[in-house]
Amino acid sequence: MISESTSHIENIESRVGSVEMAFKEFLPKLTENVRALSGIVNEIKAKEKKKS
């Protein structure tokens, strides 16, 4: 029973590690894209404000 629980915990740790690695890989690019999108939205808002 204890060895089964230990195995299950090790499996979970492995999966969490995989998720962590995936986040480390795509999070910087996602952040960059969100910043770029935010800049575009702000430009559009500024243009709309000038028109009013």
Specify the pLDDT at position 1.
81
Domain ranges of the chain: 24-52
Rg of the chain in Å (alpha carbons): 22
CA dihedral angle for residue 10, residue 16, residue 17, residue 21, rounded to 10 degrees: 160
Specify the pLDDT at position 11.
95
* pLDDT tens profile 33-52: 999 999 999 999 999 998 87
* pLDDT tens profile 2-20: 888 999 999 999 999 999 9
